């Protein structure tokens, strides 16, 4: 029984500041340890619940944050970037359940370190509704027939996940007090909760329902500036629908993630160009 685990950093217990999640920050090394131990808790829980194989995908930033030599050796690790399926890389139809650990709220929501894929993006919308990273990655899982069995993070993503993934284990490890402020349980407590919940999600995977895929796939992204939207409109299939907004109709979940990947890089590049012009003045 194969289990898939996608691990982000912003939703990990004990993490709340940009200094912790950005490589080179004073708190980053400690955040790596916290992230790795929550991944280990999910791995242990999956095996407790009957898994015979576990694949872990490092899903934060440059996607090489987990300390590999400290990761449970029973699991395989997918890491590095870019990846075609980004935070869902390594997910295959053989997986019986997907577990999302350390996840966070989307851009515009009042969650800890809230954003959607890139700090350069505003909202990301799917078929007209704002979505979190968990919901986008779940689309890919749905296309493979895999249910989402667990989401851990702060109270804001927990509320979103409770509605989005009926029957999934929801683990709230902290409460948002602002963008970079939180009331967190002890990391040790968080790990115990994640392990227990991962075991239940794995053992009960066959009881979870995989939703139907939508019939349309319209993606909208609010770019960081009008320049970003202007450049993105040159991508085949993309159109500029607002000062900073681009939209595209794609054929399925893989293309949703692929488009977001391209816009992610373009948003960062457009900001570098824009700021270079501003700084020359």
Structural domains for the chain: 2-207 (3.40.50.10780), 218-279 (no CATH)
Q: What is the mean pLDDT of residues 137-163?
A: 98
Q: Above 70 in pLDDT, residue 236?
A: yes
DSSP for the chain, please give it: -EEEEEE-STTSTT--SHHHHSTTSTTHHHHHHHHHHHHHHHHHHHHHTT-SEEEEEE-STTS--S-GGGS-TTEEEE--S--TTGGGTT--TTEEEEEEEEE-PPTTSSSTT--BSBTT---EEETTEE--HHHHHHHHHHHTT--EEEEEEEHHHHHHHHHHSTT-EEEEEEEEEETTEEEE--HHHHHHHHHHHHHHHHHTGGGSPPPPPPS--EEEEE-SSHHHHHHHTTSTTEEE-SSSEEEEE-SSHHHHHHHHHHHHHHHHHHHHHHHHHHHT-
Q: Would you say 10 is a known binding-site residue?
A: yes
Does 271 score more than 90 pLDDT?
Answer: no
Residue 281 has pLDDT above 90, yes or no: no
User: What mean pLDDT is predicted for residues 183-200?
Assistant: 99
Q: Is the pLDDT of residue 173 over 90?
A: yes
Half-sphere exposure of 112 (CA within 13 A, CB side): 33
pLDDT of residue 187: 99
- Known binding residue 133? Answer is yes
pLDDT of residue 274: 73
Is 8 assigned to a binding site?
Answer: yes
Q: What is the per-residue pLDDT for 31? A: 99
Least confident of 47-61, 186-200, 214-228: 214-228
pTM for this model (two decimals): 0.95
What confidence category does residue 278 fall into, taking pLDDT thresholds of 50, 70 and 90? low
* Known active-site residue 177: no
């Amino acid at each position: 029984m194969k289990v898939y685990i996608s691990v982000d950093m912003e939703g990990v217990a004990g993490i709340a500041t940009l200094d912790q999640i950005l490589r080179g920050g004073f708190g980053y090394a400690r955040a790596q340890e916290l992230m790795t131990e929550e991944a280990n808790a999910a791995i242990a829980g999956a095996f407790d619940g009957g898994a015979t194989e576990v694949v872990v995908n490092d899903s934060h930033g440059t996607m090489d944050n987990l300390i590999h030599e400290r990761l449970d050796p029973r699991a395989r690790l997918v890491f590095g970037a870019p990846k075609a399926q980004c935070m869902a890389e390594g997910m295959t139809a053989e997986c019986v359940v997907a577990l999302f650990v350390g996840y966070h709220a989307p851009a515009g929501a009042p969650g800890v370190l809230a954003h959607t894929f890139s700090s350069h993006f505003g909202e990301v919308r799917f078929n007209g509704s704002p979505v979190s990273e968990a919901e986008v990655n779940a689309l890919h899982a749905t296309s493979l027939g895999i249910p989402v069995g667990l989401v851990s993070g702060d109270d804001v993503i927990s509320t979103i996940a409770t509605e989005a993934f009926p029957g999934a284990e929801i683990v709230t490890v902290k409460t948002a007090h602002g963008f970079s402020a939180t009331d967190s349980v002890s990391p040790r407590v968080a790990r115990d909760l994640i392990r227990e919940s991962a075991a239940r999600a794995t053992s009960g995977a066959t009881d979870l329902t995989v939703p139907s895929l939508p019939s349309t796939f319209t993606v909208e992204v609010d770019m960081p500036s009008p320049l970003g939207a202007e450049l993105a409109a040159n991508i085949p299939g993309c159109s500029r629908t607002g000062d900073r907004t681009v939209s595209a109709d794609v054929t399925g979940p893989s293309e949703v993630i692929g488009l977001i990947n391209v816009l992610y890089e373009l948003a960062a590049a457009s900001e570098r160009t824009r700021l270079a012009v501003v700084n020359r003045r």
